[in-house]
Structure 1
Amino acid sequence: MRESAAERHDRLLGLVRDRGSARVSDLASLLGVSPVTARRDVEELAGRGLLDRVHGSVSWPQDAAPGAAGPGATGGGLVLGMLAPSSTYYFAEVIRGAHEAAARAGARLILRISDYRPQEDHARTEGLLSAGAEGLLVAPGWQDPGDPAAFGDWIASLPVPTVLLERRPTAGSPLDGLDRVCSDHAHGVLLAVRHLVELGHGAPLLMARADSPTAVAVRSGYAEALAVLGLRAPQDVIDSVPAELAPDAFEEAVRALREAVLSGVATAALIHNDVDAIQVVQRLAELGVRVPEDLALIAYDDEVAALADTPLTAVAPPKREVGRHATELLVERLGQSTGAPRRHLTLLPQLRVRDSCGARLP
């Protein structure tokens, strides 16, 4: 199976962490990739603050905790392990927040990426424990609704303190008794729906993916928001898929949204996520539907929404703060007795208003 970019980034970070520093040309050889690919990977990771880059070499960040250069380094600080489903997009900021908090606490953070393959979560977490992790931050690579039951029981029996990140287990399950830090996506959706209604629109349409816990939470939050505001969905949720993976299905979804606008079914929409939203806006323009003139639109995630031709209003989950608070909670947990009460910390997203929701009814 071809290695994903996330897996390659994981290996690159591991090589630099273990060595303290490395030449980019040496990393290309060790990773078995071209120098161009290695430079591109290094630039991306350095841009996210996960590496420092100087004169053709990279090093573990200077603000990292004592002992961050690798297992053989000295310093005696705590070693924290983090399992994330990806090192890009949404979780890049979660990782950054965790890294910053670990550095402030004098701890070393080591990272493993599952690339959204939940069947590999257990083995990668065992790798963190073997590397000396004394506490764990775990964001399982769950995608399907059945994944927590199929690939989650082992988390509750981990031998070290564990904090779940951006995951809400089934109420009453063993995982529900763990510490966790999550964004309140239902609140974020409510902010978006309420804003559009206050602009004079009826209930907005939802166009959303169904391939991640965030997507599932956005869908359920949409139903809750409509109930809170006493609204009825103008039609069924439009299922969204990545344009690059399923172009025909993406085109079908865009045309369904176009038809809803042209028929007067809806004048506003919420789209998860904002990469999809940018591509939807571009395709709608080609099909004669303009944002915001014909359709008021809000995106969900706010990773790249501000970079669209028409900057997109977006719901921004507190990603970096999730990583920071989870790490602080884990460090605190490691210093407490085993009988201390567990905590569920929920952080509220923000609505960042830009140009794309300016449409109003005549």
Structure 2
Amino acid sequence: MRESAAERHDRLLALVRERGTARVSELADRLGVSPVTARRDVEALAAQGLLDRVHGQVSWPERQGAAGGRTGEGLVLGLLAPSATYYFAEVIRGAHEAAARAGARLVLRISDYRPEDDRARTEGLLTAGAEGVLVAPGWRGPEDRLAYGDWLAELPVPAVLLERSADPGSSLDSLDRVVSDHGHGVLLALRHLLGLGHGTPLLVARGDSPTALAVRTGYAEALVALDVTAPGPVIDSVPADQDPEGFERAVRTLHEAVTSGRATAALVHNDVDAIQIVQRLAELGVRVPQDLALIAYDDEVAALADTPLTAVAPPKRQVGRHATELLVERLTEAQDEEAPRRHLSLLPRLRVRASCGAPRPGRAF
């Protein structure tokens, strides 16, 4: 398999870190590339602040803080995310903004939801000079966390979990983490729909990510907190492009619940699925919001639907920002063995749009 530029950069950084100083021609020879390629790699890494370059030589940068302790200036932070698009684009943006404010540099790796690659990619961040890491593992469910999680607690640098939780008492539970409180987000959605006079909303949700599973758990907890009973079981949703038949089954199940009168409201995870479900329901004669009040979960593209969708908006950018600030604090403050680790939960907001319609007359919650 052909070596990627990122992998070559990691090898180059490892060589410079080992030697302290090296000539570009030497690096080209050790890497097995042309001098032109090595020079371009060095220029790119120097532009990122990962190397110092002077007169044909490169050296590992010295980063000293001010008297009395380090500052964020010059720090290199690593970020491992399962994706750079949709939900995690905002998390990454928040982390980048916080790093820039601290004078730190953020280095990114993407796992593409392959948890078996998380450890190698995080080690690549360390090789690239990361002095602390923000990690959102590519887990899809609890089985991935069990199979590909323990290594996180063994990292030689400070680490903060992003939008991922751990089992109480596990080794990962002792790590700092910053997450969205999806249970609160679900509660906001159900309370809003009930307040409009609807019966208990149905949940239509995926089961292929930690967010989806948290929404499902939050739904069960919200039913108890609100002392209501669901009009039917959770409807399993799947991406229409990956499983057209499964998607159609989900739509038909929701259609039957609406036309039979069992449900007049639904919460759908996620935005893309919600928009496609609304479109397919319209083809089957069910209109939003006239026949079905609907709230989407994620608020990435919900506002762009033909009928703008009310949506639960997790604080994605703030998750990235607070996690980065916490990591910088860990790296710059004087070491204190008694300093407690932090589990920070940020509350989603409900953004009300047209898909819920007006309050239903004669019914109140």
Q: Does the TM-score normalized on the shorter chain lie above 0.5?
A: yes
Match of 1:278 in 2: 275
Q: Secondary structure at the match of 2:142?
A: coil
Match of 2:109 in 1: 112
Match of 1:292 in 2: 289
Where do 5+ consecutive residues of structure 2 fail to align? 14-42, 53-60, 64-73
Matching residue's letter, 2:298 = D
- In 1: Cα distance, 2:234 partner to 2:346 partner: 26
Match of 2:214 in 1: 217
- In 1: Cα distance, 2:221 partner to 2:104 partner: 40
- In 1: Cα distance, 2:342 partner to 2:224 partner: 28
- In 1: Cα distance, 2:221 partner to 2:62 partner: 49
TM score, norm. by length of structure 2: 0.81
Pair 1:124 & 2:121 matched = yes
- Seen in structure 2, the aligned counterparts of structure 1 residues 67 and 102 have a Cα distance that, compared at 3 Å, is farther
Q: Secondary structure at the match of 2:322?
A: helix
Matching residue's letter, 1:149 = L
TM score, norm. by length of structure 1: 0.81
Report matched runs for 1:165-244 at 5 Å.
165-244=162-241
Report matched runs for 1:201-350 at 5 Å.
201-336=198-333, 337-339=335-337, 340-350=339-349
Q: Secondary structure at the match of 2:311?
A: strand
Whether contact under 8 Å (1:261, 1:267) holds in the other structure is yes
Which whole-Å deviations, capped at 9, do the CAs of 1:21-64 have from their partners, x for residues lacking one?
A: xxxxxxxxxxxxxxxxxxxxxxxxxxxxxxxxxxxxxx99xxxx
Matching residue's letter, 2:296 = A
How far residue 335 of structure 1 moved from its aligned partner, in angstroms, is 1.9
Q: Which has the higher mean CA deviation after the structures are superposed, 142-151 or 193-202?
A: 142-151
Match of 2:71 in 1: none
- In 2: Cα distance, 1:71 partner to 1:232 partner: 56
Match of 2:50 in 1: 71
Aligned match for 2:140, one of 138, 143, 157: 143
Where do 5+ consecutive residues of structure 1 fail to align? 19-58, 61-65
- Matched residue count: 308
How far residue 75 of structure 1 moved from its aligned partner, in angstroms, is 8.2
Matching residue's letter, 2:48 = A
Whether contact under 8 Å (1:296, 1:360) holds in the other structure is no
Q: Secondary structure at the match of 1:116?
A: coil
Q: Secondary structure at the match of 1:214?
A: helix
Pair 1:357 & 2:362 matched = no
Q: Secondary structure at the match of 2:325?
A: helix
- In 2: Cα distance, 1:195 partner to 1:68 partner: 50
Whether contact under 8 Å (2:289, 2:356) holds in the other structure is yes
Cα RMSD (Å) of the superposition?
Answer: 2.3
Q: Which has the higher mean CA deviation after the structures are superposed, 340-349 or 310-319?
A: 340-349
Whether contact under 8 Å (1:267, 1:295) holds in the other structure is yes
Report matched runs for 1:64-103 at 5 Å.
69-73=48-52, 76=63, 77-103=74-100
- In 2: Cα distance, 1:75 partner to 1:175 partner: 32
- In 1: Cα distance, 2:129 partner to 2:286 partner: 55
- Seen in structure 2, the aligned counterparts of structure 1 residues 353 and 148 have a Cα distance that, compared at 3 Å, is same
Matching residue's letter, 2:252 = R
- Seen in structure 2, the aligned counterparts of structure 1 residues 259 and 354 have a Cα distance that, compared at 3 Å, is same
- Seen in structure 2, the aligned counterparts of structure 1 residues 11 and 90 have a Cα distance that, compared at 3 Å, is farther
Whether contact under 8 Å (1:81, 1:110) holds in the other structure is yes
- In 1: Cα distance, 2:237 partner to 2:330 partner: 40
How far residue 144 of structure 1 moved from its aligned partner, in angstroms, is 2.1
- Structure 1 residue runs of 4 or more that deviate by more than 4 Å after TM superposition: none
- In 2: Cα distance, 1:273 partner to 1:84 partner: 19
- In 2: Cα distance, 1:101 partner to 1:281 partner: 37
Pair 1:162 & 2:141 matched = no
- Seen in structure 2, the aligned counterparts of structure 1 residues 183 and 168 have a Cα distance that, compared at 3 Å, is same
How far residue 359 of structure 1 moved from its aligned partner, in angstroms, is 5.2
How far residue 147 of structure 1 moved from its aligned partner, in angstroms, is 1.0
Fraction of identical pairs, as percent: 73
- In 1: Cα distance, 2:336 partner to 2:274 partner: 45
Q: Which has the higher mean CA deviation after the structures are superposed, 207-216 or 329-338?
A: 329-338
Which whole-Å deviations, capped at 9, do the CAs of 1:170-197 have from their partners, x for residues lacking one?
A: 0110100110000000000000000000
How far residue 285 of structure 1 moved from its aligned partner, in angstroms, is 0.4
Whether contact under 8 Å (1:317, 1:348) holds in the other structure is yes
Whether contact under 8 Å (1:68, 1:109) holds in the other structure is no
- In 2: Cα distance, 1:359 partner to 1:256 partner: 25
- Seen in structure 2, the aligned counterparts of structure 1 residues 338 and 268 have a Cα distance that, compared at 3 Å, is same
- Seen in structure 2, the aligned counterparts of structure 1 residues 11 and 247 have a Cα distance that, compared at 3 Å, is farther
- In 2: Cα distance, 1:330 partner to 1:257 partner: 44
Matching residue's letter, 1:358 = G
